[in-house]
């Protein structure tokens, strides 16, 4: 579960970076285009962070936690 916590922000950062690189390479120059690009860069990661639930604790993890 600890690994999943760090994977979500990395995926979000890579998405935002990829969208802005595409915008720069695509020579986006108008304010409206940058606004749309910003929405495209931020909305999907926000939805992913909100919807992506961590997996439930397994029986083995419950036992290990009880033994500590």
61/39: higher pLDDT: 39
39/66: higher pLDDT: 39
Q: Which candidate, 34, 4, 3, places its Cα nearest to that of 19?
A: 34
pTM value surpassing 0.75: no
Q: How many domains does the chain have?
A: 1
* Alpha helices (H) along the chain: 2-25, 31-51, 59-67
pLDDT digits (tens, 9 = 90+) for 5-48: 578 889 999 999 999 999 999 999 999 999 999 999 999 999 99
Q: Determine the pLDDT at residue 1.
A: 47
Range of the domain at 16: 2-67
């Amino acid at each position: 579960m600890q690994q999943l916590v760090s994977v979500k922000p990395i995926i979000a950062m890579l998405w935002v970076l990829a969208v802005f690189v595409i915008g720069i390479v695509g020579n986006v120059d108008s304010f409206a285009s940058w606004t749309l690009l910003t929405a495209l860069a931020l909305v999907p990661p926000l939805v992913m962070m909100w919807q992506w639930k961590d997996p439930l604790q397994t029986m083995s993890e419950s036992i290990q936690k009880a033994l500590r």
